[in-house]
Structure 1
């Protein structure tokens, strides 16, 4: 009889997992399912079943859940458009100072300004795009 209650609990927890999707309730359902099997095969008292449930659920949460979470988590979105230009290298075409300058970035010519307004980059220097501000690449030479 107790095994049937554990089995019903496992089904309810698995159904709850379908709503949440974070694999926590699924691990508890696995613990309940395992406890239902142990309860059907042994004469443990209810507190013994609770200990079996805690051990099985804890093992699943600590051992299996991280693997499932890594496997089924969504990857970070791939930056596209202007967001994809941040961090790229660019070649200075015309000297860059606080008020003017251009760089070649991914085959296109962009107006540019330095990240630090006091710096000047000469033609031919390789710089890194720190951000895009409107139609201007904010660049930095770095150390």
Structure 2
């Protein structure tokens, strides 16, 4: 019953992964599961060790770097006011360094100019560069590079 021993090893490695969250023990647990299947089919010890080595190497060399890259990336979707950054808006009330009003995504937002020397007239199109509280910091579209 070597398949049962590999199954226990997979469970122990899976438990270790649960506490460490490094992906190493989880991939080794997967390799142990592959080896349990190989042992269950009746392959000898050499074949089991070869299956373990190949599955572990594939997991650690191929799968782990891809998974770590994916986890390191930020969220694809932005929520709340962060979703407004980069959007185009229309000036509804002249925007200066201290005050103004824009319409973005159908809502009126208080706004101020990113560059304190700019005065953006009504009807101009602007890009939302950042959000500070309930105020959008904007820059005129025609001045963008």
The TM-score with structure 2 as length reference comes to: 0.65
Q: Distance in 1 between matches of 2:45 and 2:131?
A: 69
The residue aligned with 2:115 is 116
Q: Distance in 1 between matches of 2:85 and 2:9?
A: 51
The residue aligned with 2:8 is 8
The residue aligned with 1:25 is 25
**Rg comparison, structure with higher value:** 1
Provide closer, same or farther for how the CA distance between residues 111 and 41 of structure 1 changes in structure 2, counting only shifts above 3 A: closer
Provide closer, same or farther for how the CA distance between residues 91 and 10 of structure 1 changes in structure 2, counting only shifts above 3 A: same
Provide closer, same or farther for how the CA distance between residues 136 and 4 of structure 1 changes in structure 2, counting only shifts above 3 A: closer
Q: Distance in 1 between matches of 2:105 and 2:12?
A: 54
Provide closer, same or farther for how the CA distance between residues 126 and 13 of structure 1 changes in structure 2, counting only shifts above 3 A: same
Q: Does 1:133 align with 2:128?
A: no
The residue aligned with 1:56 is 55
* Pairwise CA distance, 1:76: 5.2
Q: Distance in 2 between matches of 1:94 and 1:118?
A: 17
Provide closer, same or farther for how the CA distance between residues 91 and 63 of structure 1 changes in structure 2, counting only shifts above 3 A: same
Q: Distance in 1 between matches of 2:9 and 2:137?
A: 58
| Number of residue-to-residue matches in the alignment | 135
Structure 1: gaps (5+ residues): none
3-state SS in 1 of match to 2:127: strand
Please, which moves more after superposition, 113-122 or 17-26? 17-26
3-state SS in 1 of match to 2:96: coil
The TM-score with structure 1 as length reference comes to: 0.66
Q: Deviations over 1:69-106 (max 9, x none)?
A: 96xxxx556412x3333222211123322244322223
Structure 2: gaps (5+ residues): none
Contact 2:100-2:110 within 8 A present in 1 as well? yes
